[in-house]
A and B are shown apart, each in its own frame.
Chain A
Amino acid sequence: MDRRQILLAFGLGAGGALLPGFPGRNAIAAEQLLEPLAIAVKKRLADAGLGAAAKAGATYCDVRIGRYLNQFVVTREAVVQNIVNTESTGVGVRVIADGAWGFAATNQLSAEAVAQTARLAVEIARANAKNQTVPVRLAPVKGVGEVRWATPIRKNAMATPIQEKVDLLLGVNAAAMQAGANFVSSQLFLVNEQKYFASSDGSYIDQDVHRIWAPFTVTVIDKATGKFRSREGLSAPMGLGYEYLDGAAKDKTTSPNGVISYGSSYDMREDAVAAANQAREKLKAKSIQPGRYDLVLDPNHLGLTIHESVGHPLELDRVLGYEANFAGTSFATLDKREARFQYGSEIVNLFADKVQPGSLGAVGYDDEGVKTKSWPLIEKGKLVDYEATRDQVHILGKTESDGCSYGDSWSSVQFQRMPNVSLKPGEKELSLAGMIAGVENGIYILGRGSFSIDQQRYNAQFGGTLFYEIKNGKITQPLEDVAYQMRTPEFWNSCSAICDARDYRLFGSFFDGKGQPSQISAVSHGSSTSRFDGINVINTARSLG
């Protein structure tokens, strides 16, 4: 399921369905969101699965007991369109038997049901083994015993009263309308994954993971001409609690032309008012003259470019061809790593991690019990590594998994997913104002827009939310109809400056789709504002006659 389908499912598109098609479709009362399963119960169920798998002849087994909770509040103007609480609880058992993977899952929380599921997984593994030419090879993981990890939140969003959330969104909508919006829609997406992982390596890992997203769209209309423009919010989905919506002043960045960007705290109301004003500006903004420009890209825009042109092509399963029929393959083939391919300019250092505080990818352990870490992908512009799981890293000559395994539900088999992938801040002192002062003929782009990239991740086209002309070191006026086209290696090799760590912020992707049947995941991409020279910009305005 892709982002568009999910948004449609939430009543933001065509109506009709009673409930969204999100993993975990059992809607529950709000207070039940606060009652986790007891650890002792989970350990007993896990041991039943591990024991049954071993007895049936499995050489490896992991048991994931998951309780996946979601809450969604959906509004437009003065109307609450939907409030949904969902829960999905169950057990997934993955085994290796006769050298092949097998997986089965059940929503019955009894020791016998879990044992039976483990036996079924072994049976499936044995059937798969008949057609398998090379046995699965797992990188070793040392058991960690009984451990716990939790997203370090200050306010549990699930415990915040619904009324407070409704008041927030309707207040945001009213502020936008008062500031001149014709239409506004706003939503809260709150996620809590209570995940218990146990494996035959001797690990019993209990994790409590929280995520939050507060998007909105403001639309303005010029009735006389029939022209309309929208401005999305400049927030990022985050691995934080409800404190993200506190709007702390210290987490704001203001550009030389007064556009406010947000770090680990968001003032949704302030952003909605700015959105209404900026959407009006967009109606009258100058249409871009196509050509080559130096682009200054804000972190809340550049994150999506990183996601598409670095995060995806370095997924090892894509590189190997396992995603060829759906998401595609990758231009970043294994021989390019051997040759230390020049992916970007000397100042480009991109790293993967599952540990950055506040990020969507942050967990203590991945979904196959590997302790999470940070590792380089591109160093001084050269390709040095990929994103891999336990059964893949040996292909890279590595003996330790990167910790990139994730399953979006207890009923989905875990597989390789993108970790956070981020651009290291520039080492030399450079502020946003300093960067803009050095640009003669450029465009400053903020926020996510239309994005599209080919199946090997070479040719991409990106729009944005806000565009401003830069002339001789000064931001002069807003622009419209802007999209840039790029070829991945040329784009990253044109990177000529990166702001320092003071400007570093996280972008997030909440519904990243991959696999068949499709699974979703959430990842963050950190960066500081960066400059890319001589990029091809097209004009996207058309006339329907």
Chain B
Amino acid sequence: MSTMTEAEAKAILDKVIALSKADECTATLTGSVDGNIRFARNDVSTSGVVSDTSLAVQVAFGTRVGTTTINAFTDDALQRVVRRAEELAKLAPESSEFVPAVEKQSYRPSPTWREATAAITPGQRADVARASIEPCAKQNLVAAGFLNDSNSFVALANSNNVFGYQRSTEMDYTCTVRTADSQGSGWVGRNLNDFSAFKPEEEIEIAMRKAKASAEARALEPGKYTVVLEPAAAAGLISFMFNFFDARRADEGRSFLSKAGGGNKIGEQVFDPRVSFITDPWHPELPALPWDGSGLARERMAYVENGKVLNLDYSRYWAKKQNKKAMGSPGNVIMAGGTKSTADLVREVERGILVTRTWYIRLVDPQTVLLTGLTRDGTFYIENGQIRYPLKNFRFNESPVIMLNNIDELGRPVRVGDGGGLLIPPMRLRDFTFTSLSDAI
């Protein structure tokens, strides 16, 4: 039983809440059917479907909390999971950071579910693999890729009469294409809610073109360059930065959003005035669940507007302590941009570097959000608006905070990443710091 109707889910959750003898009880049902197909060396390597449904029950006696889960839904099983949560809660110590279950909420549904994605068949997955492999094999190229699709639901209830139910779908496709002699490598990725909008035969052309064009790369001296980062290349750096938007971390003095002498940088100009970030569960291109893990309703909210920090992410405990309104933790991050494509941004570069993708990004210094990582699968030299020749990959050491103060222009935002929840534009940036060359192809 991997997906449930609203009525089925509600019946189970109602029973759980009624069974609990604790001071409060929150129950969450999640279920999904995840399908995938993986291919490498122009051959399908694995393919499968995993169905799973799980019930999580969290109860509290005073400020003692216990959590358990189970994947059986008979009356006996429900009785057992509630009693076990209660036993664990009695064993747990008192918590000075305890926050009671959320009060009654109102959830406005968001468009997270698409029939075409929920209905994907094994045959359609095989077709995607074939559409990726066949054109590559014909041109002496080698494809390795992965398609993952998910049809899921979440239902939540608590002893304060909170109830929510919503279904979601998602698909994520990535493919790396290499030349047979391993001298060139290209990549493409597409993340969508709606499988019917997915055209693998068009996507694969991008990776093939980049693979062929990236062979015989030249070495360019590391240093500071104007770059055009494709959305997938920028996403890895930007998403890292959002770990530091936690209000508690900033207030405690361990974030770039902490102020010397105490407090945080809400209200301060931290980025270029063209930088704006919002979260919005109802965004048509990147919808998210209208509630967070605790059941708190999400709202549309601006984090950064015209470069100024307007809001941070307050957990319910920290909001209470700081006397702030608690907001649902965000389900997505949407960055504003312009109307130009990556290609348009390239056309206006006198001398610079186009980066397809970034890889193995790690935090070097939390004080400045300095990150290191590498370019991968298509790095090209641009001169007078034209892509001139492929470049050997670089290692970069750069902070997204510095990056977002060195903006030349932002393009049209697109949805990126496997579960990343980011809508992000391609960006042309000045003085991006490459520190060494990599021989990797």
Chain A residues close to B by CB (< 8 Å): 13-19, 25-30, 78-86, 103, 107, 124, 128, 131-133, 162-163, 166, 182-183, 219, 221, 223-228, 230, 320-326, 328-329, 331, 411, 413, 450-459, 461, 463, 481, 483, 485, 487, 516-517, 536, 538, 540-545
B440 to chain A, nearest CB (A): 4
A-B contact pairs, 18 of them (CB 8 A): A18-B58, A18-B293, A19-B69, A25-B54, A25-B69, A29-B87, A78-B96, A83-B91, A83-B92, A133-B43, A223-B253, A228-B367, A323-B40, A452-B395, A453-B360, A461-B436, A540-B364, A540-B370
Query: B311 contacts the other chain (Cβ, under 8 Å)?
Result: no
Which B291-331 residues have a C-beta within 8 angstroms of A?
292-294, 313, 315-316, 329
**What total of A-B pairs shows CB separation below 8 Å?**
224
B144 and A324 within 8 A (CB): yes
Contacting residues, chain B, for A451 (C-beta < 8 A): 362
Cβ contacts B344-377/A at 8 Å (1 or 0 each): 0000000000000001111111111010111010
Contact status of A452 and B362, CB under 8 A, knowing A18-B26, A27-B84, A538-B435: yes
A86 to chain B, nearest CB (A): 8
Contacting residues, chain B, for A26 (C-beta < 8 A): 54, 68-71
Contacting residues, chain B, for A225 (C-beta < 8 A): 260
Contacting residues, chain A, for B292 (C-beta < 8 A): 16
B252 and A452 within 8 A (CB): no
Among the listed A182, A322, A457, A516, which residue makes an inter-chain contact with B253, where contact means beta carbons less than 8 Å apart?
A182
Q: How far is the CA of A542 from the CA of B34 in the complex (A)?
A: 43
A459 to chain B, nearest CB (A): 4
A322 and B97 within 8 A (CB): no
Contact status of A29 and B88, CB under 8 A, knowing A183-B254, A221-B254: yes
Query: Lowest 7 CB-CB distances: which A-B pairs, in order?
Result: A16-B293, A226-B260, A459-B438, A456-B440, A324-B144, A454-B440, A27-B68
A541 and B365 within 8 A (CB): yes
Name the CB-closest residue of B to A487.
B439
SS class, residues of chain A in contact with chain B: loop
A327 to chain B, nearest CB (A): 10
Name the CB-closest residue of B to A449.
B364
A13 and B44 within 8 A (CB): no
Q: How far is the CA of A15 from the CA of B329 in the complex (A)?
A: 8
Query: B110 contacts the other chain (Cβ, under 8 Å)?
Result: no
Cβ contacts B373-412/A at 8 Å (1 or 0 each): 1101000000000000000010101010110010000000
Query: B159 contacts the other chain (Cβ, under 8 Å)?
Result: no
Contacting residues, chain B, for A17 (C-beta < 8 A): 293
Q: How far is the CA of A545 from the CA of B368 in the complex (A)?
A: 10
Contacting residues, chain B, for A483 (C-beta < 8 A): 364, 372, 397
B58 and A458 within 8 A (CB): no
Chain B residues close to A by CB (< 8 Å): 26, 28, 34, 36, 38, 40-41, 43-48, 50, 54, 56, 58, 66-71, 84-85, 87-88, 91-93, 95-97, 142, 144-146, 148, 174-176, 178, 182, 243, 246, 252-254, 256, 258-262, 292-294, 313, 315-316, 329, 359-368, 370, 372-374, 376, 393, 395, 397, 399, 401-402, 405, 435-441
Candidate in B66, B68, B145, B294 with the most chain A CB atoms within 10 angstroms? B68
Candidate in A18, A28, A487, A543 with the most chain B CB atoms within 10 angstroms? A18
B367 and A459 within 8 A (CB): no
Contacting residues, chain A, for B26 (C-beta < 8 A): 18
Contacting residues, chain B, for A18 (C-beta < 8 A): 26, 28, 56, 58, 67, 69, 293
Contacting residues, chain A, for B66 (C-beta < 8 A): 83
Name the CB-closest residue of A to B57.
A18
Contacting residues, chain B, for A81 (C-beta < 8 A): 95, 97
Contact status of A27 and B405, CB under 8 A, knowing A16-B292, A80-B95: no
A431 to chain B, nearest CB (A): 32
B362 and A324 within 8 A (CB): no
Q: How far is the CA of A326 from the CA of B128 in the complex (A)?
A: 18
A128 and B40 within 8 A (CB): no
Q: How far is the CA of A188 from the CA of B126 in the complex (A)?
A: 43
Contacting residues, chain A, for B329 (C-beta < 8 A): 14-16
Contacting residues, chain A, for B313 (C-beta < 8 A): 14
Q: How far is the CA of A103 from the CA of B48 in the complex (A)?
A: 9
Name the CB-closest residue of A to B89.
A83
Name the CB-closest residue of A to B246.
A14
Q: How far is the CA of A415 from the CA of B36 in the complex (A)?
A: 17
Name the CB-closest residue of B to A5.
B419
Q: How far is the CA of A212 from the CA of B431 in the complex (A)?
A: 45
B254 and A325 within 8 A (CB): no
Q: How far is the CA of A82 from the CA of B363 in the complex (A)?
A: 26
Contact status of A454 and B54, CB under 8 A, knowing A16-B294, A221-B254, A322-B45: no
